[in-house]
Amino acid sequence: MALVRGRRQSKLGLILPEITERRPRFSPPLPPTASQQPTTTASSAASEYETVQVLGHGNGGTVYKVIHKKTSNLFALKVVHAGSDPTMRRQIFREMEILRRTDSPFVVKCHQIFEKPDGDIAILMEYMDAGTLDSLSKTGGLLTERTLANVARQVLNGLNYLHAHKIIHRDIKPANLLVNKNMDVKIADFGVSKIMCRMLDTCDSYVGTCAYMSPERFDPDSYGANYNGYSGDIWGLGLTILELYMGHFPFLLTGQKPDWATLMCAICFGEPPSLPEAVSDEFRSFIECCLQKDSGKRWTASQLLSHPFL
């Protein structure tokens, strides 16, 4: 059942691509060859790595910067205390499954997975030395259009790859996009993602970070004819780019994230957030293509990759 009954207020007047082009195009098969897949290893192998520092804490786990003692290579090690909590175990196994399957320069690379007898799981990932886009934007000030186009192109390449492999991220936001000092941007944190069994499966679960949820996640009846989830990732990207430009969460001027009900009303009944007068037409159009309230009118990742803004 829909969570809200909303009024349609899409007034963005875009020229939309042909309907046949709106579906994600599907390409290479998964999984990758066995040699590419990260192996699951007994926890004793984890002793080859030494902790350097804590990088951050997530839902149920901690991420450490570690060094491989023999080679001095740096990695990030996410340790999740899955224990016997079924929700936590489901989440971490989903993340492991997706990280095992993916092999793209735009998705954080998983090298190895360690399992301990007590149920703890550690995922050894490539280390992204500039943290997340969230922390970067808070410390580095506002980003230029050119930098944002570079960020958007990389995230779209990642989403195009994931969607082509029937994976929906479901939680695209600045805190889940990792970055390094070369400004390489990679999609991370697949804890609430979903692998679609068939291309037209509906995506009905209510997961992800509420603030970045698309209108059809709240109200599929009004905004999500044939909602399949892929377009929700595009909404998350649009809000992310807007947030990085504005320096605060776009649905609230003060930068404070509002409570759930206020947010839901703003997303479902309000106009999508817009850009100030000063920005280029290409940037404005790009954001409009991502933030169409009607999920069917939103551009796909592959279409956006040829948008003039990029």
Catalytic residues: 171
Judged by CB, which is closer to ligand ATP: 25, or 138? 138
Residue found under tokens 């993340």:
95
Alpha helices in the chain (DSSP H): 86-101, 133-140, 145-164, 215-218, 220-223, 230-246, 260-269, 281-290, 301-304
Residue found under tokens 């059942």:
1
Q: Which residues bind ligand ATP (CB under 6 A)?
A: 55-56, 58-59, 61, 63, 76, 78, 108, 125-128, 131-132, 175-176, 178, 188-189, 191
56 touches 63 (CB < 8 A) = yes
Judged by CB, which is closer to ligand ATP: 155, or 304? 155
In the complex, residue closest to ligand ATP by CB: 58
Closest separation in Å from C-beta 59 to ligand ATP: 3
Closest separation in Å from C-beta 98 to ligand ATP: 13
In whole angstroms, what is the distance from residue 214 CA to residue 224 CA? Answer: 10
In whole angstroms, what is the distance from residue 5 CA to residue 106 CA? Answer: 37
Judged by CB, which is closer to ligand ATP: 77, or 149? 77
Closest separation in Å from C-beta 125 to ligand ATP: 4
Q: How many other C-beta atoms are found inside a 10 Å radius of the C-beta of residue 207?
A: 15
Judged by CB, which is closer to ligand ATP: 124, or 289? 124
Closest separation in Å from C-beta 113 to ligand ATP: 14
In whole angstroms, what is the distance from residue 77 CA to residue 126 CA? Answer: 9
Residue found under tokens 């409570």:
259
* Strands laid side by side in the 49-58 sheet: 39-42, 110-115, 121-126, 74-80, 61-68, 49-58
Paired tokens of 15? 């020229």
The values of phi and psi at residue 26, to 5°, are -105, 130
Closest separation in Å from C-beta 19 to ligand ATP: 35
Closest separation in Å from C-beta 148 to ligand ATP: 20
- Helical axes 230-246 vs 145-164, angle rounded to 10°: 160
Judged by CB, which is closer to ligand ATP: 38, or 58? 58
In whole angstroms, what is the distance from residue 232 CA to residue 213 CA? Answer: 7
Judged by CB, which is closer to ligand ATP: 26, or 206? 206
